[in-house]
Structure 1
């Protein structure tokens, strides 16, 4: 680009020299804009922003330098037209004078290249983040579906075994147990494709399960519930309370000859839903138990709520207390 300081101030300078400078700026900008598409084409077609090598960088530098050569080859013939029109005579510049413009225009190209690569990098990072979130979501859904698949057969097999043992003893009780089991299975099938349900709906499932279990334990099982009304509409993972109660019966009440009591309570505390299931007995470590139910609960809470939810199992004064804390949703 010609600058005023390169031309000595004299009476020979035409009055419309400023107009020439404006036209020159427009032509230089237009030529640079057109040639920038060569670099852009190479970046889009051959330069992988996420997996480039040194060779790719060298090639990109070569493309930039190539466009600079084309730029300056075309620049001066283009400028001769406005020079002759506005200046009234051609301005003779030496090769050295022409080359002094190279760093000036190269700087523009480098800045433009930096902006383009920055935008490409931001787009690449956002794309990677989106793909990562999609993968994590798909993985969580897959894991949750697997865990749900562990719930239904585990509960169903236990119930069917109880019915089989009861069929020869009391047909009426067995029929009642089948009715409760069918309601339970209907619930588990209709809710298996969702990750949350109202606590009130879950309680119906728990009541059916307890009724089934009372037939097995008879007078050895007592069940109490203390549910705060404010918690009834809170969304929770399906069958998670049922699993707590099932664990209390399987590892607690079933080991006591005289039976015991299972107490269910829900409260809202510190902006969290707190679910407690307490049963008579003590914590016992069994090498034959896989603790699948407890592992299932922990994993589902982790997948759904991350660090915002917790599950603990403690023994206090010959009573085992399972506590779930989860955020209000």
Structure 2
């Protein structure tokens, strides 16, 4: 942030110098002015203006040095010594110029020459140095505040970039995982039933088309996800035939809610692969969605037991948890439990 080219800063800086000079120089002297002594009041006013204007002009010299030779967050001991040096030079210039300037209003309003000893002038040096110390405090506060905001912005952009990279990596895990299972199913049917294999390829191509078109988005409508789910189930039914029963209980108000793409597909895939496929007589997979208290509930229940999942890689379940964490933080949740010989996977997604 370049203050030296900021017109708003210079306007506020000028007002600040005049106001501070008036407060430090004039306000404590007015009470001692005799009533009706207009010339004394005029002198005090001009003294305030001259001190403020001179400080304002010399502050440009210090600001030029700070913005060209002093980087916030990167300064060294040598830079700090340079800052002290430019501060001392500014004080010398200020005091050498101020006293001759003050002689003008003294002679005009008070009708005498102001003759101060060197000691008397030196005793005023700490007083005037305070002006510049206050100015330095304000300038560095602005600079540090801006520097902190830049760091926060960079960290936010880095976190966003990291999340996008992680999400893309997770999406890359979904498609190969799904492709591997589906192609294995097709391979098993090629020599047994060509028509079924062709039908399976058609459903697979529709599913892949969906996956490719949604690859660059982080959320989609639940009803769009359902279209892909039905294709996936059709592929699975060709393999499992009567062993797989699929039911849905979809709340109409949930159809337009936004969810991460292919996250339900992963639940259905795990329910079939680790539940139905391990049961001799097969079983049922039920998909339920509902909205309660501004929370979307997605529940996939399948026949089987959680113990049957121990031989799997659990890649899909880890994927689901990680994606929910990246998109929603701690506001969303995923749980897996066994209820009366059925495995229930539940996702909770906040709607606000």
Please report the TM-score for the alignment, with normalisation by the length of structure 1.
0.92
Match of 2:240 in 1: 217
Q: Choose which of 20, 23, 33 in structure 1 pairs with 2:46.
A: 23
> Greater CA deviation, 285-294 or 164-173?
285-294
What is residue 164 of structure 2 aligned with on the other side?
141
| Partner of residue 161, structure 1 | 184
Matching residue within 298, 310, 313 for 1:290 = 313
In structure 2, distance between residues paired with 1:288 and 1:173: 29
Report 1:94-113 matches (<5 A): 94-113=117-136
Match in the other structure for 1:321: 344
- Give the C-alpha shift of residue 304 in structure 1: 0.3
> Which 5+ residue runs of structure 1 have no aligned equivalent?
none
Deviation at 1:53, TM superposition (A): 4.1
Q: Secondary structure at the residue paired with 1:141?
A: helix
2:66 counterpart (40, 43, 52): 43
Counterpart secondary structure, 1:326: strand
Change (3 A) 1:167 1:9: closer
Partner residue of 2:3? none
Shift of 1:135: 0.4
Residues 162, 9 of structure 1: CA spacing in aligned structure 2 closer, same or farther, 3 A cutoff?
closer
Q: 2:83 aligned with 1:60, yes or no?
A: yes
Gaps of at least 5 residues in structure 2 are 1-20
Residue 198, structure 1, aligned to residue 221, structure 2: yes
Matching residue of 2:199: 176
| Distance (whole Å) between structure 2 residues aligned to residue 135 and residue 87 of structure 1 | 65
Aligned residues: 325
Question: What is the Cα deviation at residue 28 of structure 1?
Answer: 1.3
Post-superposition shift, 1:78?
Answer: 2.2
- Cα deviation, residue 39, structure 1: 2.0
Partner of 2:323 in structure 1?
A: 300
Tell whether the 8 Å contact from 2:167 to 2:323 is kept in structure 1 after alignment.
yes
Using the alignment, how far apart are the partners of 2:142 and 2:168 within structure 1?
A: 39
Question: If the length of structure 2 is used for normalisation, what is the TM-score?
Answer: 0.86
TM-superposed deviation, 1:105: 1.2
Secondary structure at the residue paired with 1:16? helix
